Chains A and B, each alone.
Chain A
């Protein structure tokens, strides 16, 4: 039997410590790698996969440019061309940009923050598999010639069943939603990691700015993605079951789709830009040879930017006939975002001017970023001016603008990041020469392609046309664009070769080759699986400048947690603002469960794609069961109290903490959930107010009995749920089990009430009113059903010995769900029964 020792001591030598840590944190080679949950490995996987998708998207771009190089080209027909530009946009936005940033975040965050892994390593792995499978669905569709062909924003009714009867649109909806799961889980994980898993002493104001950028970005994802997911579900339900949310002939409205899509779509472009800006803020000071100016200014700017970016979405809809005052609101918000962006640009400029900049390869790409991104930002401000947008909206001017901001604001910084962190990934130093050629090819090619494209748009070329005539006067402009794009493609190909060569044949680098000051360079490169042999105590924003000996000290075990306790994987969590030590977080070990769960989820999505609803239900149930299985190795069977963490200090295990990471994760998940519900509620209200062919032919009658039962059920679940976390109740095992059963019973009542109401809803395929009403009720019912699972899960955990007054996490998480369910249930009933009264 293994001996429980709560008094571990640091091993005698750095090598012994390394061996001990590697034994628990390392991932074995071969098939065992499928079980890896380590952030370095998962991060690398995301990055490599995203780069492969970038290559696919780039290839599609080359096909586009080949077709458009000459007028009346016979290279591609419209059916194929439509698939190609749709997939180009979709791949670049969903399968390249977002996952690339997620990968970098996973790889870098714990290292920057002085932690050993992300907060939920198994979720990272699960997210990766979801991304890979969802992306593969789309690419397989392309290979089979049935890829989505309605444009990357999939406007209805073109993407509805009537006008796209094939599987094309379903592939988009299913594939993208599958990938979004990984985006949402990454968002939760990034937030919790930044807020909690920092090095001791790293208070909010000592956090590296990149962590701020990633934190803000993750919050934007949390609120930005739910509208798209809801929209996609509604459209898939319309396509599969005929519920007419977007069909104007039956009370739906195509504009609802546009609102839901752009509520996501606009923040999305800032979600892509902000992490890249964070990398600029990290890399630029290193080569300027001085600290960045305006730390607080930058933090304030990015928070402001995050909010403002949610007030811009209608600038994609300036031509749909919205009142001028409404356009004015969005026009002013769209110009206002330029301000926080300008603050950042000038912070970078001021830093360069006050330092002594070195013209390295990463710096070269940053210079390219400056030119291209500032130009793109300027055309962005122009597009925010309503009348100008009326002319150039949906033309190649917009295509040029969006590539200036996306390539300038994301690809160029990523190239800088690649050359900057390459030694960290590979342990090899980079060479100067080749990178310069790569830069000039890409920079020249890019501007040749897209600078003239502004003009192409101004002289009238709409986007998404597969051909044009000679009378238009667009021939030369297009030929130049195509020529430039091939130059750029050569540049990217050389980049791939350069990276491969350096990875294979580069000279070994010393630690910290750029003389950077952030913690990710305080470790050996390539990074060991556990990052730090012992965790640093941080006292400034530039730990390696304040304490040049830090890497050696950490390796020698003079930091926190310089040992392996009972074969567990441990890292520290701190107070959110202060950075004071708070908990010892135990992380889960490698396991195949994330992969298996993702396969189960894949069964669900693929079955829905082929309209096989029984296998779909099986897939969903299996996914849920797998997630429950995950918890078997989390939690603790005994109260431990404070445990030593080295340097003479001690901290409680997370299982006994007030606010462990999992509790934060639940709160954040509920925030995303509330956003999704708000999007759905917005849809219902929007249809009532704006959609054609209202009021509906028949209204839902109020059934007093069913309503009362549902209300009692919801209120009961919330109240009894609260009782279940009272210390006095938790202390008595029999009592707490009974209370939890009571919670489950309350959810059953709520379900019964809702179910009866749903049966009374008029035929939902006849009109958008019953359709949307049904979806709102279903949303609440889904929550009640999961509420039963949460309550019974509590009983299971309690019986298995995971619960005590000190270890109440599982029950507290449950109580949060019950409360949220009650709130959603109450608002649903209010909307469903109240709107008809108010509106008729």
Chain B
């Protein structure tokens, strides 16, 4: 990330924010490294563009009312109410809702997909314990190992309060709730280290409940799990 000394003039600062912030960052949802995060980032860019257009339309109408007083005198109220209040939202919301549901369906942890890897996660104040049922007795704490390119179903629960498992560059979050097991499916496109955080407030060390996800190529992954198993034995 670039840094530049910016004065405290609002305009400068705002402009700098746009330029500086960028989309990258170890926890950025807008720098996806997996199909789920990429799908959602796509949704965001589409919605953001649409939102800006709609906000501009409303503001333009408002400006028009002030700059050309009385210009709308001849427009029938129905045009405003039915056009702006019913037709416009219907045209915008219908495709949006359908797109959202469709994307949601694709991201679900549906069984029957070949090559799924399973990990069991237990969150507790304030650490993450990972168990690899396919390679028992491998376990790890605060570091999750996954193979690149394969869907990983993360089964999450909690040993105490509610936490939330979130690796922004790979997928959306899922809550870790005591007494329940919840599942999120994620996958990494490329090898690397991805950061995760606890997203649900869980007490004094909530801010420090981070973890990392290490995505390995197939061989390296097997190797890594074997070593983990040896360590626990």
> Within the complex, are A and B direct neighbours (CB within 8 Å)?
yes
Q: Is A466 in contact with chain B by the CB < 8 A criterion?
A: yes
B100 touches A386 (CB 8 A): yes
Among the 9-residue stretches B17-25, B111-119, B138-146, B214-222, the one with 4 or more Cβ atoms under 8 Å from chain A is B17-25
Q: Is A299 in contact with chain B by the CB < 8 A criterion?
A: no
Among the 9-residue stretches A4-12, A350-358, A778-786, the one with 4 or more Cβ atoms under 8 Å from chain B is A350-358
Residue of B nearest to A250 (CB): B179
Known A352-B62, A460-B29; judge A342-B85 contact (CB<8 A): yes
Residue of B nearest to A293 (CB): B77
Residues of B within 8 A of A477 (CB): 17, 21
Q: Is A346 in contact with chain B by the CB < 8 A criterion?
A: yes
Which of B22, B40, B203 is in CB contact (< 8 Å) with A387?
B40
A338 touches B197 (CB 8 A): no
Give Cα distance in the complex from A222 to B69, angstroms: 42
Q: Is B101 in contact with chain A by the CB < 8 A criterion?
A: yes
Task: Fill in one digit per residue for A471-492: 1 if any B CB lies within 8 Å of its CB, else 0.
Answer: 1111011001001100000000
Q: Is B225 in contact with chain A by the CB < 8 A criterion?
A: no
Task: Fill in one digit per residue for A322-338: 1 if any B CB lies within 8 Å of its CB, else 0.
Answer: 00100110011001101
Give Cα distance in the complex from A319 to B107, angstroms: 13
Interface core residue of B58, B90, B108 (most chain A CB under 10 Å):
B58
- Interface size bucket, A side? 35 or more
Q: Is B180 in contact with chain A by the CB < 8 A criterion?
A: yes
Within 8 A of B (CB), among A161-184: 162-163
Minimum CB–CB distance for A709 against chain B, Å:
38
Residues of A within 8 A of B8 (CB): 483
Known A293-B81, A386-B104; judge A349-B1 contact (CB<8 A): no
A338 touches B89 (CB 8 A): yes
Give Cα distance in the complex from A392 to B41, angstroms: 11
Within 8 A of A (CB), among B141-191: 160-162, 164, 166, 168, 171-175, 177-183
A321 touches B160 (CB 8 A): no
Known A321-B183, A452-B17; judge A388-B43 contact (CB<8 A): yes
Residue of B nearest to A163 (CB): B161
Residue of A nearest to B105 (CB): A324
Within 8 A of B (CB), among A635-691: 691
B21 touches A476 (CB 8 A): yes
Residues of A within 8 A of B105 (CB): 324
Within 8 A of A (CB), among B1-37: 1, 3, 8, 10, 13-14, 16-17, 20-30, 37
Give Cα distance in the complex from A738 to B49, angstroms: 74
A355 touches B70 (CB 8 A): yes
Which of B1, B26, B61, B199 is in CB contact (< 8 Å) with A462?
B199
A357 touches B69 (CB 8 A): yes
A354 touches B89 (CB 8 A): no
Residues of A within 8 A of B54 (CB): 374, 378
A391 touches B29 (CB 8 A): yes
Known A338-B89, A472-B25; judge A349-B80 contact (CB<8 A): yes
B55 touches A375 (CB 8 A): yes
A321 touches B175 (CB 8 A): yes
A353 touches B197 (CB 8 A): no
A468 touches B207 (CB 8 A): yes
Minimum CB–CB distance for A812 against chain B, Å:
43
Residues of B within 8 A of A385 (CB): 43, 47, 96-97, 99-100
Residues of A within 8 A of B200 (CB): 155, 394
Q: Is A360 in contact with chain B by the CB < 8 A criterion?
A: no
B29 touches A379 (CB 8 A): no
A297 touches B85 (CB 8 A): yes
Q: Is A33 in contact with chain B by the CB < 8 A criterion?
A: no
Give Cα distance in the complex from A249 to B157, angstroms: 13
Give Cα distance in the complex from A711 to B24, angstroms: 67
Known A352-B62, A353-B72, A379-B51; judge A692-B85 contact (CB<8 A): no
Known A357-B69, A477-B17; judge A339-B207 contact (CB<8 A): no
Knowing that A321-B175, A394-B173 touch, tell me 13 more A-B residue pairs with CB under 8 angstroms.
A158-B203, A254-B179, A319-B174, A321-B180, A321-B183, A335-B96, A345-B58, A350-B80, A354-B77, A378-B51, A385-B99, A459-B30, A476-B20
28 contacts between A and B (CB under 8 A): A157-B160, A158-B162, A254-B178, A320-B182, A321-B177, A324-B101, A328-B101, A340-B85, A342-B89, A343-B85, A345-B58, A349-B62, A349-B65, A353-B65, A354-B75, A355-B65, A359-B66, A370-B62, A389-B172, A390-B172, A394-B173, A394-B200, A448-B14, A472-B25, A473-B25, A477-B17, A484-B10, A691-B179
Chain A contact residues, CB within 8 Å of chain B: 78-79, 82, 150-151, 155, 157-158, 162-163, 248-249, 253-255, 293-294, 297, 301, 319-321, 324, 327-328, 331-332, 335-336, 338-340, 342-347, 349-350, 352-357, 359, 367, 370-371, 374-375, 378-379, 381-382, 384-395, 444, 448, 451-452, 455, 458-468, 471-474, 476-477, 480, 483-484, 691-693
Nearest first, the 7 closest Cβ-Cβ pairs linking A and B are A390-B172, A460-B27, A353-B72, A248-B179, A350-B80, A346-B84, A343-B85
